[in-house]
Structure 1
Amino acid sequence: MSETSRILRTAARAATYHGLQAGPHFVDSHGRLDLIAAIYIGATGKTPHSFATPNTPTSPFNNMATALIETNEPVMNAIRAVSDVLPTDKPTDSVTGLYCPIEHLWYWQTDRQHTTGQPPTDTEIVGLLLRAARENDTTVPKLLFSVPTQRAAA
């Protein structure tokens, strides 16, 4: 099992244990996680204090929380793995032109069906994490080894 798959499976357990929400915080006042926080906790086992503050551009804690996420390579690998299995279009940064996997997950979690305005259920989010883990397991190169064949009798 790859590190990313392990992180995603742990994130699914954290999401199930803590509960999920799609509010303006990474972690709400009841301790429920959003999708990004579940992945971060799955990778680090920690819930930073900055995750409980508002996710607004004017909040200094938002920048701290985002920096914690973006500078942690295993977390970002897991976020990219989940983003890759989503069937929705990936948003791109207007300045760099690169896709933003964090925004992709956030948009999906807040409004999975833009036509209905309904967020995904907890079961759908946990299923997404497990599907991404499974996909990551199938795409990671496996160690190859050779088993000697039995020689024919002389």
Structure 2
Amino acid sequence: MSQTGTDLRTAKTLANFFGVLDHGQHYAHPDGRLHPAAVIYRATTGTTPTEFYDNPDTARALIQSNATVMTALRWVSAVLPTQPPGDDITGDDHLEHLDTWWSENDFFLHRRPNTCEFIGILDRAAQAADTLTDLPAPRTAA
């Protein structure tokens, strides 16, 4: 298993246990619920910074500045059913991709994703990370 896959499975456990924060402006709630990106941050770092509760701009900067979290977000973005926003200059914005998927109504279902759907996305991302990064060592010729 890859470290990213392990982190995403940990995020899945956290989301299942605490629940995922409804579509608000902060990244964390005192009752333990977290925004989907904050769930991944907590799973990879083991902490929930106080900025997640009261300063969404700083929370976003903390998420974007952590390479491990951004790697996990790239895998989540890869399995979402839509294309990430971005352009040729700045590249894809994987955090914005997750935010958009979480906050907008699904075209066919006419509702926003729920916690179970987010857990399913985390599961698919973990499986993809494991499958595509855990390559066996090359065999030597006999």
> Would you say same fold, with TM above 0.5?
yes
**What is the Cα deviation at residue 29 of structure 1?**
3.9
Kindly indicate which of the two structures has a greater share of residues assigned to helix. Answer: 2
Could you tell me how far apart the structure 2 residues matched to 1:85 and 1:49 are?
30
Tell me whether 1:82 sits opposite 2:82 in the alignment: no
Aligned length: 141
* Contact 1:7–1:42 (8 Å) recurs in 2: yes
Match of 2:29 in 1: 28
Query: Whose radius of gyration is greater, 1 or 2?
Result: 1
Q: How high is the TM-score relative to the length of structure 2?
A: 0.88
Could you tell me how far apart the structure 1 residues matched to 2:26 and 2:110 are?
19
Q: 1:64 aligns with which of 45, 48, 58?
A: 58
Match of 2:14 in 1: 14
* Contact 2:8–2:43 (8 Å) recurs in 1: yes
Please say which of residues 14-23 and 120-129 is displaced more in the overlay: 14-23
Query: Which structure has the higher relative contact order (CA within 8 Å, separation 6+)?
Result: 2
Could you tell me how far apart the structure 1 residues matched to 2:25 and 2:57 are?
14
Tell me whether 1:139 sits opposite 2:132 in the alignment: yes
Match of 2:112 in 1: 119
* Contact 1:109–1:120 (8 Å) recurs in 2: yes
* Contact 1:11–1:129 (8 Å) recurs in 2: yes
Stretches of structure 2 that go unaligned for 5 or more consecutive residues are: none
Query: What SS does the aligned partner of 2:129 have?
Result: helix
**What is the Cα deviation at residue 121 of structure 1?**
1.6
Identical residues among aligned pairs (%): 37
Task: Provide the alpha-carbon RMSD of the alignment.
Answer: 2.2
